Amino acid sequence: MAVTDPIADYLTRIRNAQQAGHRIVDIPASKLKKSMTEILYNQGFILKYKFEEIEKGQDLIRIALKYDPRNKQPIIRELGRISRPGLRKYAKADEVPRIINGLGVCIVSTSHGLMTDKQAREQNLGGELLCYVY
């Protein structure tokens, strides 16, 4: 079955793995998903990641999820899609939303590639609002 919205699929796989208490989740790779994974890692939402190449077919992104050592709760409290294939959401540089007053991250697709909402505001760039994480 073909995935019509790869970003929603990516977010859902992470969400489902966390609810099931898994430490590692495998996601089919693409350039966009690799960039999103790097942003999640740099923002401290995931423990580590590895891009694995399979000789035939789809490459994989293997993500080690991060949990709070004290109460074993996932670090990522919520993640969701903003712009969907049926309804794209764009914002100018000064309209890029703050997620929980800057505690969360909004991933924005700009003309300079994927970046966080904070980076987009600093570089005065707008773009498509892909998803939020906190």
* Tokens encoding 21: 């208490």
Strand boundaries in the chain, DSSP class E = 24-28, 46-52, 60-65, 79-81, 90-91, 105-110, 113-116, 127-133
* 127: confidence class by pLDDT, cuts 50, 70, 90: very high
pLDDT in tens, 73-106: 999 999 999 999 999 999 999 999 999 999 999 9
Structure confidence at residue 58 (pLDDT): 82
Contact 14, 79 (CB under 8 A): yes
Structure confidence at residue 1 (pLDDT): 63
* Tokens encoding 35: 């960039």
CA distance 117 to 134: 13
* Tokens encoding 120: 């987009």
Q: Which amino acid is at 28?
A: P
pTM, whole model, 2 decimals?
A: 0.93
